[in-house]
Structure 1
Amino acid sequence: MKSHKDLNVWNRSIELVITVYQVTKDFPKEETYGLVSQMRRSVISMPSNIAEGAARQSKKEFRQFLYIASGSVSELDTQLIICNKLDLIRDESFRNISDELTQIKKMLFGLLNSIKG
């Protein structure tokens, strides 16, 4: 099995972590323990679960961690929509992150479909 570092979806999700950290650093201080914390945990969960799954010994376990990573994509997508509705994020950043989440989700499901067992 490949190392997690060889997986395109892991690399793209790492880049998304950087983007989300950069965007949320400009959020209001009162959101530090609210949306900022939630969004950062969600985005960090994506590459972390991909890496943990890739390190597991069975394909079944790897698939389970990919499903968890996919759940984190949906979680961040929801938080992103909330930020947009609260005018905490610029429209361009919202679209860019949203588009990247869509691509990562597709990549996760492509990887899931390629792993049998």
Structure 2
Amino acid sequence: MHNFKKLKIWDESMLLVSESYKLTRTLPEFEAYGLTSQMNRCAVSIPSNISEGSSKSSDKHFNKYLEDSLGSAFEWETQLNIAYNKRYLSKEKFNELEQKIKQIQKMISGFQSGLKL
């Protein structure tokens, strides 16, 4: 078992949740039940799966939750691209957030590689 609050991947993904909520507050109102909701659910899913998986009794079971977390990270990246393509955010903000999500994806993958499966 791992203490999720001591995991850098959890810390970084919690910061992404804040960034996601900050970004989605700027999206058009008509996106409230679409892109806004989906982006925030995905962002929340990343650290949620890390914390839930950390309670499992084996690294094999934890890895399944890390896979789900990684999937949500890729899904969030896709939604970020959609938001950018719709011109809901600047190129600079897009680049900043894209770099953050890619870093989280690498961190999760790297953490998975260190597990004893």
* 1:44-83 equivalences in 2 (<5 Å): 44-83=44-83
SS of 1:57 mapped into structure 2: coil
Tell me, yes or no, if structure 1 residue 104 matches structure 2 residue 104. yes
Displacement of 1:2: 2.8
1:96 CA drift (Å): 1.0
Letter in 2 for 1:71: G
Distance 1:5 1:43 in 2: 17
* Cα displacement (A) at 1:36: 0.2
Paired amino acid for 2:106: K
Post-superposition offset of 1:93: 1.6
1:3–1:54 contact (8 Å) kept in structure 2: yes
Equivalent in the alignment of 2:41: 41
Q: Distance in 2 between matches of 1:77 and 1:39?
A: 9
Shift of 1:63: 0.3
Work out whether residues 47 and 69 of structure 1, in 8 Å CA contact, stay in contact via their aligned partners in 2.
yes
Query: Cα deviation per residue 1:53-74 (whole Å; 9 max; x = unaligned)?
Result: 0111111110000000000011
Count of residue pairs the alignment pairs up: 117
Question: Deviation of residue 113 (structure 1)?
Answer: 0.4
* Paired amino acid for 1:77: E
Gaps of 5+ in 2: none
Which residue of structure 1 lines up, in the alignment, with residue 2 of structure 2?
2
Q: Which amino acid aligns with 1:25?
A: R
Amino acid at match of 1:36: T
Distance in 1 between residues matched to 2:24 and 2:10, nearest whole Å: 21
**Shift of residue 11, structure 1, vs aligned partner:** 0.1
Code of the aligned partner of 1:105: Q
Query: TM-score of the superposition, structure 1-length normalised?
Result: 0.97
- Give the structure-2-normalised TM-score: 0.97
